[in-house]
Structure 1
């Protein structure tokens, strides 16, 4: 398996005071995308995800001691694979959603663009948001590729949507 970019954990400092709860209004957008499956609802949900802190689950992939603690375990992100060999990466909107999926997973905060980049770098073709609920959403191409390029989907005043490029911070001398 190709090595994933080491940028998933970079946002840790940015989220130091994070409570682990889903961003306000985000799950309502996901609910609408699930219950009103049209393009506008889907794009509103994606735009909401673009501005939110997300949680990537990290799980132990190795030996555990008798008490269940890591013995010589390596930590890895989670990829799911369907019968046809297509792979997807998981991401969650809050700690509660991570725990509903796997109580032993360790949530690592990240932004959607970094998660999308890691998804494609890992050979996956989809990103599964809140797989165990409360309102799952699947991100695939071409949306996933735009996100991986560091772009964010934004709602425009006229009711449409557009891609915004996030500028890199200026280099410090």
Structure 2
């Protein structure tokens, strides 16, 4: 049996074969929903509203971060450097954000106009609004910047609001964003996908789904109902890697899919049987709460089981 890619991947699987990456259910866990109930919405790490605030003092320091000079967190930079040179991983990068300060951009948004005696229209009232992005797959993403300079280069008119990354993650969830995009437009752009975003918002340790033993157990348990599945392998998906501005491939920080599920099937199955099997597995996984919380999106590869 030739291997067929249910979702296009890097091994030459044709994109014409049916099936796409599977988004996991997006309902919020109760503990996140409870945290959001007291979080208010777009506020800073001290719980103060962002709207209408003066964000930089006369000394150039950032309010609420008294000794902040606006440069990137050293721990984050070290984690990204290790990822790039092959001595680190993306889990370490996200772990470094647990204590890191980031900058969230907000921009003036016209709320009301007025017309003067001369007939000219002027701004009467303007609100400050969070900036949101649309990812290539249509999902909402919140941009965040590790340094004030990176934010200014991306949007010179945006105001930098200093918050802890965990607080930014919680605000992203409250805005129904599924991705946190760090330093868009910079040399290294790192995407925190939904499971990592939720873990950061809860200040919990994030484990990539392709290394998560409980995720593996959930997938195997569902596959046990299908005798034609002889074995299963979990690997990083094609969307884990990302490309830096200078063309370097970095093994982490991509937007997904982050999990590749390899199904080793018995020989002799026709196309209809394969499609029914895959559809049944997808339905089972989508109903599992743990799978929904810890898996952002997947791609499925089919292989012939070794006899």
- 1:164 corresponds to: none
CA deviation map 1:1-26 (0-9, x unaligned): xx961432527754022111112242
Secondary structure of residue in 2 paired with 1:58: strand
2:133 to 76, 80, 85: 80
For 2:77, which of 27, 30, 46 is the aligned residue? 27
What's the Cα RMSD here? 3.0
Distance 1:98 1:8, change over 3 A: same
Indicate the structure with greater strand content.
Answer: 1
Q: Secondary structure at the match of 1:15?
A: coil
Q: Does the CA-based 8 Å contact 2:101-2:162 persist in structure 1? A: yes
Aligned residues between the structures: 146
Change (3 A) 1:72 1:21: same
**Which residue in the other structure is 2:41 paired with?**
5
The equivalent of 1:52 in structure 2 is 100
Tell me, yes or no, if the aligned pair for 2:94 and 2:200 is still in contact at 8 Å: no
Is the CA contact (8 Å cut-off) linking 2:150 and 2:183 kept in structure 1? yes
TM-score normalised according to structure 1 size:
0.71
Q: Structure 2 regions of 5+ residues with no counterpart?
A: 1-38, 48-61, 114-122, 207-307
Q: CA deviation at 1:37?
A: 7.5
User: More relative contact order in 1 or in 2 (CA 8 Å, sep 6+)?
Assistant: 1
Which residue of 157, 175, 189 maps to 1:136?
189
Which segment is superposed worse, 90-99 or 40-49? 40-49
Check whether the contact 1:80–1:88 (CA below 8 A) recurs between aligned residues.
yes
